[in-house]
Structure formats: C-alpha cells, structure tokens
C-alpha cells in the first residue's frame, strides 16, 4: 500500500540572520517519489532551505518533518541516517582522491569505527565497500573514471560523481543544489539521464534547486517558487510557468530587475 504521507514537510519555518529574514513563515510539502524543484530569484532563500533541512543551520521557528519524524532539533550528522543526502552548488569532492575513493566516502554513515574510516585509503582493496562503489560507478556510466584522480576530471563528470557519492548514503530524500550549474548542454543532458535512471531504479525522492528551467521542465513533476523567503506559487511545471507572479519575478521579461535586487539584498 502506498504511503500517502509526504516525505518532507516544512511547517512555518523562519530563519533570520541578524536583522535580515531569509526564510519567512514558510510551509510546503514534498510528495514521496516526486521530483520537486525549488526555484526563485537569487537570494530567494533556496539554499537556506537546504541548510535548514539538513541541519547545517538551526531554525528560529517552525518544524521540519522527514517521513513524519520531527528532525528540527536533530544534529546534522544524524540526519543522514534518517534518509537525507545532498549535493552543493560548488563541487565538494576530495580532489586528491580517485573517483572510486570519493564514492566510497559516501558510505561513511554505514561504516562504523576505525575500520570504516580507513576504507577509502586502499588498505583493503578487495573489500565489499569498494565493490559497492565500483558497482555504483558502473550503473551510472562512470566506470571508466574509477581510477582517475578527481581534480583531473571534467567538471561535468565531477558533478555526476557527486550525485553518485550522495546516493551511496542510500537516501530516501536527495537534495541537489543547482546540479546543472556550469554545465554545457551535453553535460546537462548526461546529468538528466543519470537522475532519471536513479529515480526509476530506486525509491529516492528528489528536491532540486535549479535556475535552468529547461532542466526543471524535463526532470521535475512539481515546483515550489520562493521570493524573499516566502512561497509565492507551487504546482506542476506548466502551472507554475503560467502563474503571473512567477512570470513577473523570475520567468518573464521583467526578471532582470528583481534578480539583481534580490542578489544585492542578500545571498541565498
């Protein structure tokens, strides 16, 4: 029987930095199994939402529920074990390690003690963690890069590799912060194929911050729109695209002024 409970629920979340309100009484849900995009102008609060959900920064008011469990006060290191994983706007792989070693690092929440910490350093080259990482690279079409040092890999490969590493934590909810940023059209298509493959072969739910609306339209089935830390619209990509408020602040011909205004006023 399908679980009707949303995998993520934000209930009247507020976050302030000094005298600036970055997130203002925000509520929305993410449907289990969906591919949901979180969009809005620069400075709308999208990355702050990710930081609040993952526990990187504390909330000032409101509650965050994952699978019905209140994680609002839970330390960030423990949230991974409750099904959360994320990527970042800027690639945060370990550049001196190989691709397979970086993927192995993604298994840290399932590795206990000193033995687990030492997995990526080649002391046990035939261990099951390495085998699992190699299988993940093969399934993602990245097996040819397994032995390559990450700093020598193309940026588009690094972005896909970061997704694979995040998936090694076996998340139920995967948060991707601008995964297509800086990619050319071929790299964006390869990433889209990878994410589609992940969603079709696992129970993971995606929450994606992205500015590329072609990417959002092709990948996502639900969209939440923020402006100045408030939700101004939500629905299918087509419904959101047709919303006059969204057209005014983000998608239409008047986008330039609001984006510049938000960017100067505050960061995400």
Q: Does the pLDDT at position 66 exceed 50?
A: yes
| The model scores a pTM over 0.85 | no
Q: What is the 3-state secondary structure (H, E, C) of 209-228?
A: ECCCHHHHHHHCCEEEEEEC
Residues whose CB is less than 8 angstroms from the CB of residue 224 and which lie 6 or more positions away in sequence, other chains included: 28, 36, 37, 38, 39, 231, 233, 234
Distances (CA, A) of 63 to 38, 52, 80, 184: 18, 10, 18, 38
pLDDT at 92: 78
pLDDT tens figures, 85-137: 888 767 778 889 999 988 888 776 555 544 554 555 555 556 777 888 899 99
pLDDT at 93: 85
3-class secondary structure, 97: coil
3-class secondary structure, 9: strand
Of 108 and 180, the one with more pLDDT: 180
Write down all domains in the chain, each with its CATH number in brackets.
Answer: 1-83+171-268 (3.40.50.300), 92-170 (no CATH)
pLDDT at 175: 94
pLDDT tens figures, 183-208: 999 999 999 999 988 888 778 999 99
pLDDT tens figures, 15-50: 999 989 999 999 999 999 999 999 998 889 999 999
pLDDT at 4: 67
pLDDT tens figures, 216-249: 989 999 999 999 999 999 999 999 988 999 988 8
3-class secondary structure, 45: coil
pLDDT tens figures, 68-81: 999 999 988 888 88
Q: Does the pLDDT at position 167 exceed 70?
A: yes
């Amino acid at each position: 029987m399908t679980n009707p409970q949303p995998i993520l629920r934000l209930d009247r979340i507020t976050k302030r930095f000094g005298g600036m309100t970055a997130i203002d009484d925000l509520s929305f849900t993410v449907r289990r199994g969906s591919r949901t995009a979180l969009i809005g102008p620069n400075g709308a609060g999208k990355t702050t939402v990710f930081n609040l959900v993952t526990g990187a920064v504390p909330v000032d008011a409101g509650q965050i529920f994952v699978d019905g469990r209140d994680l609002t006060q839970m330390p960030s290191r423990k949230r991974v074990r409750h099904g959360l994983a994320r990527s970042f706007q800027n690639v945060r792989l370990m550049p001196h390690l190989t691709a397979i070693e970086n993927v192995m690092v993604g298994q840290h929440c399932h590795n206990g003690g000193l033995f687990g910490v030492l997995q990526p350093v080649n002391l046990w080259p035939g261990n099951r963690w390495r085998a699992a990482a190699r299988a993940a690279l093969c399934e993602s079409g990245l097996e040819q890069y397994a032995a390559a040092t990450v700093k020598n890999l193309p940026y588009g490969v690094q972005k896909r590799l970061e997704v694979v590493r995040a998936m090694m934590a076996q998340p139920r909810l995967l948060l991707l912060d601008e995964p297509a940023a800086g990619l050319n059209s071929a790299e964006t298509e390869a990433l889209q194929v990878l994410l589609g493959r992940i969603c079709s072969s696992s129970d993971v739910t995606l929450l994606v911050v992205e500015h590329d609306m072609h990417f959002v339209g092709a990948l996502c089935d639900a969209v939440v729109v923020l402006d100045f830390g408030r939700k101004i619209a939500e629905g299918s990509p087509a419904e959101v695209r047709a919303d006059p408020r969204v057209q005014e602040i983000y998608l239409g011909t008047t986008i330039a002024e609001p984006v510049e205004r938000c960017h100067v006023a505050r960061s995400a």
